[in-house]
Amino acid sequence: MTTRRIVLAVACALLAAPALADQPKSPKLNVEQEGGEPVIVHEGEASFYGDKFHGRKTATGERFDQNAPTAASKELPLGSKATVTNQETGQSTDVTINDRGPYVKGRVIDLSKKAAEDIGITKEDGLAPVRVEAKPSDQPSAEAKEKVEDKAEQLSGSSNGKDKPGSGSGR
């Protein structure tokens, strides 16, 4: 009976392997240089918050306003500003990261309804491939600038295969 269970388990694993291979991969963060400044870049799929989240508290403690240009990111620092560009339309918008998410594999950012509309994401399609960029010089405060610089330095120093000479923050 034990041998039969082992054979069954192996057969199930072999059958499941191709299905698991098709799962969206979690996009990696990269650090690029622009004019001597580190830029955190995250490419992947964007979605937007549904109406049911309007008025709920975000990770920063403020109330979510679907009509404000805000976003949720698991990677970028809270309070930081990022530019989100729809890679299909070329439309861009600036958002403030005030929440954590998205919690769906393969997605890099959840946008407010306003931000999604600004880059051409509608309720009908709901998703778009995007490029998210956070630059220290674009931050609204010294604290946010420092957080973005620290995150870029952390990413540049990690062994993610993206290490290049001069890719540190230079501070």
Per-domain residue ranges for the chain?
Answer: 29-157
Rounded average pLDDT over 65-81: 97
Mean pLDDT across the chain, nearest whole number?
A: 84
User: Model confidence over 32-49: pLDDT tens digits?
Assistant: 999 999 999 999 999 998
pLDDT at 113 over 70: yes
pTM for this entry: 0.77
Both structure tokens of 80:
């930081």
User: Topology of domain 29-157, per CATH?
Assistant: Barwin-like endoglucanases (2.40.40)
Q: What pLDDT sits at residue 125?
A: 83
Q: Which residues of 83-105 are buried (b: 16+ CB within 10 A; e: fewer)?
A: bbbbeeeebebebbbbbbbbeee
Whole-Å CA distances, 150 to 33, 38, 42, 136: 15, 10, 16, 9
| Per-residue pLDDT reduced to its tens digit, 118-153 | 999 988 889 999 999 999 999 999 999 999 999 999
Task: Kindly report whether the peptide bond that precedes residue 102 is cis, defined as omega within 30 degrees of 0.
Answer: yes
Tell which residue, 71, 123, 66, has the closest CA to residue 92.
Answer: 71
Residue 12 has pLDDT above 90, yes or no: no
What is the C-alpha separation between 21 and 28, in angstroms, rounded? 17
CA-wise closest residue to 61 among 100, 94, 93: 100
Q: Strand, helix or coil at 157?
A: helix
Region of poorest pLDDT, from 13-17, 31-35, 50-54: 13-17
> Which residues does 71 contact at the CB level (< 8 Å), separation at least 6?
82, 84, 95, 96, 97, 98, 99, 109, 110, 111, 112, 115
